[in-house]
Amino acid sequence: MQPLDRRSLTALVHRLHFYIGIFIAPFIFIAALTGFIYILSTQFEDIIYRDVLTTQPSGNSKPLSSQISAARHYVGEQYFIHKVRPAPQPDETTYIQFMYPNLESEKLRTIFIDPYSLAIKADYFFSPVSGFLPTHTWLTKLHTELYLGSVGRHYSELAASWLWVSAITGVILWINHRRKHLSRKKRSPFAFTRHWHITLGLLLFLGMLFMSVTGLTWSKWAGDNINALRTSFDWLTPQLNTKLKSENEAVISSHNHGDHQHEDHNHKGLQSQNSASNINKPDLDWEIVLYQARRNGIKADNVEIRQPKTASDAWTITENKRDWPTQVDAIAINPHDYKVIDHIYFDNFPMMAKLTRWGVDAHMGKLFGMANRLLLLGFTFCICCLLLLGYRMWWIRRPSRPQNNPLSTLTACWLSLSIPWQLLIVTLTIMLGYCLPVLGASLLVFLFIDVLLWKKHKKITNVFPQ
């Protein structure tokens, strides 16, 4: 590499790192701070909701059918049961969720019931986005969208899109200047701040890459591209087939046909109060289906049962154990003869699907339990410190007057490179902008500002390459 190219590339990386620090770091800071609060809150949920989640065992628990019957009697027979999570341990409660008319489209009514006395322990209306506890759900939406809806999701995607770039550019700058840093005594406030900024950056490097990639998996724009890539390589998580094989298997009473469609994610098309009671399966069926699932490989204590949503659907029973070792097997059961029509086992998932599952669960602090959460608390706290140190470095060295350094803009740095390097950078930029649209759009904003600065500097000096 020519000395001029090396100098220009270093200046370009430095300028890009600076732009990320000025414009993107606030979004990364908010994501880290809300993530810290989210993880911290999970430590207190068992305390806050102890009376809701636990009970005092007293003799034998009542059958699941009796628990569902009690919940339906409390809520009203006319409401459709969305899902049931039987008490996983003798001292825990059963969770029954109802689709409730006239609620906001993303909210459901959730009943926690004592499996021994059949007493109602809690009655909540909340969104089921990422869990079944109101505090957990509220903080999840705060972290992912700041309660700004679809617009808010862009903030978290922006942070995740640039986090890995910030980490890599920071390491490149450290490698380029490490000898100078090692030989210089760290006595000034700037040198002290830079030392800890670099130290934290190196310690957090792999974590930043991991959190960036896993965060992007459920983002809107980049997430769609990631799913397309996984589809092309057959890396998607296997999907359970819940459709009955023939119309003969789907024949039920005629009043159940035609107008009872549901959608799991947005909960549109809830049944009317007069029709839900006609679709709910008998209480005893829930118990029979769970028994059949246990006989056919569903071993986890934590399971989720969903009844058929239409005449052509099957029951689904899914394991819900996200910590290590992961248990997320699922099974579909015919509602007429209780035979298994399909099943998926985590052991048979493609490796990339397993890695995706583990990555998302580790990102949320679930995979390794308390150790995972403590690690994330330390990581998010250090990220906030890293960013604050970066701003302190800028504040200490902020220019007292406008600078006219010919390599102080991305445009000037790029123009000073040889043509092969220019083409390579343009190609990589276009590819990244296509794969990560939010990154690409924000980079255009960077370039717009940068070109304005470059033109301003060019009027003052003639040092720039033509």
The CA distance from 130 to 144, in Å, is 11
Residue that wins the pLDDT comparison between 46 and 156: 156
The region of weakest confidence among 180-194, 201-215, 226-240, 250-264 is 250-264
**What DSSP assignment string belongs to 111-151?**
EEE-TTT--EEEEEEE--SS-SSHHHHHHHHHHHHTT-THH
CA distance 154 to 440: 13
Question: Could you report how far apart the first and last alpha carbons of the chain are, in Å?
Answer: 21
**Is 70 exceeded by the pLDDT of residue 462?**
no
How far apart CA 410 and CA 12 sit, in angstroms, is 5
* Cα 171 from Cα 328, distance rounded (Å): 38
What average pLDDT score do residues 352-357 get?
93
Phi, psi of 401, rounded to the nearest 5 degrees: -145, 160
pLDDT confidence bin for 149, thresholds 50/70/90: confident
Cis? peptide before 325, omega within 30° of 0: yes
Convert the pLDDT of each residue in 420-458 to its tens digit: 999 999 999 999 999 999 999 999 999 999 999 888 877
One-letter identity of residue 96: I
DSSP E strand stretches across 300-408: 303-306, 315-319, 330-333, 340-344
For the chain, give the mean pLDDT: 86
Distances (CA, A) of 13 to 20, 79, 339: 11, 59, 61
pLDDT band (50, 70, 90) for residue 2:
confident
Task: Give CA 90 to chain center in angstroms.
Answer: 31
pLDDT digits (tens, 9 = 90+) for 391-408: 999 999 887 655 555 457
pLDDT attached to residue 252: 39
Residue carrying structure tokens 């109602």: 120
Contacts of 316 (CB under 8 A, 6+ apart): 240, 242, 305, 306, 330, 331, 332, 333
pLDDT for 199 equals 95
- pLDDT, one tens digit per residue, over 273-328 is 335 556 789 999 999 999 999 999 999 999 999 999 888 999 999 999 999 999 99
Q: Does the structure show a pLDDT above 60 at 247?
A: no
Mean pLDDT throughout 190-213?
A: 95
Burial class, 22, CB count within 10 angstroms (exposed 0-12 / middle 13-18 / buried 19+): middle
pLDDT in tens, 120-145: 999 988 765 555 678 888 888 899 99
Work out the average pLDDT over 113-124: 95
Half-sphere exposure (CA, 13 Å, Cβ side) for 285? 19
Tokens standing for residue 184: 């210089």
Q: What is the pLDDT of residue 436?
A: 95
Buried b or exposed e, range 158-194, using 16+ CB within 10 angstroms:
bbbbbbbbbbebbbbbbeeeeeeeeeeeeeeeeeebb
Whether 121 and 112 have beta carbons less than 8 Å apart is answered as: yes
pLDDT at 260 over 50: no
Nearest-angstrom CA–CA distance, 230 and 216: 13
What are the tokens at 233? Answer: 């390589």
Residue whose token pair is 């007293």: 58
Token reading at 335: 């509602």
Q: Which two tokens stand for residue 216?
A: 């992007």
User: Tens digit of pLDDT for each residue in 65-109?
Assistant: 999 999 999 998 888 999 999 999 999 999 999 987 665 555 688
